[in-house]
Amino acid sequence: MISASSTPAKTSRIGSILFLKCPGCSRESMFENPKVYTWTNMGQVKDTCSNCGTNLKPEIGFYFGAAYANWAITVALWVSVLIVLKVLNQIQLIEFGFLTHPKTFLLTGIACTIVLFPYLYRVSRSIWAHIHIKRVAK
């Protein structure tokens, strides 16, 4: 029998990072505005988690370090774009060569980066918080 609970179930560490949940309890959103594709309060992290009370802003400038996570994610995105284009070339859906069609690579990479920017921005902050803020033991 499934019980109806007011708080959602606790997720795994990776699930908590990807779904932008609190690093302490993995139940509440880390962000003031939980909608990813919005321009209002896009990167505004809550001061504390409303569920477990975890301090989500341990010090001023804490999330500047998230730029390192964002850089790594962006590099992985561009490598993924290159791999996908090479695979599509191999199965002959498109004609692509890294040196012969650089515009295809650049335009595809830029388009993917722009479309995924709001999520990448938030997930990099989530990664940084999960690395440095300890999980609440219950």
On the question of pLDDT at 133 being above 80, the answer is: yes
- Could you tell me which residues come within 8 angstroms of residue 97 by beta carbon, excluding any fewer than 6 positions away? 89
What pLDDT is stored for residue 9 in this prediction? 62
Are the C-beta atoms of 22 and 56 separated by less than 8 Å? yes
**Model pLDDT for residues 92-111, shown as the tens digit of each residue:** 888 888 778 888 899 999 99
State whether the Cα torsion 126-128-133-138 is positive or negative. positive
Are the C-beta atoms of 15 and 132 separated by less than 8 Å? no
Q: Which of 136, 125, 137 is nearest to 53 (CA)?
A: 136
135 vs 133: which has the higher pLDDT = 133
On the question of pLDDT at 1 being above 60, the answer is: no
Distances (CA, A) of 127 to 5, 33, 37, 41, 54: 27, 18, 19, 19, 16
| Rounded Cα distance, 40 and 2, in Å | 37
Count CA atoms within 13 Å of residue 50 on its CB side. 8
Query: What six digits make up the tokens of 126?
Result: 């989530």
| Mean pLDDT, rounded, of the chain | 86
DSSP state string for 70-83: HHHHHHHHHHHHHH
**Model pLDDT for residues 17-71, shown as the tens digit of each residue:** 999 999 988 889 999 988 888 877 888 899 998 888 888 988 888 999 999 999 9
On the question of pLDDT at 77 being above 60, the answer is: yes
Beta bridge partners of 31: 45
pTM for the structure as a whole = 0.81
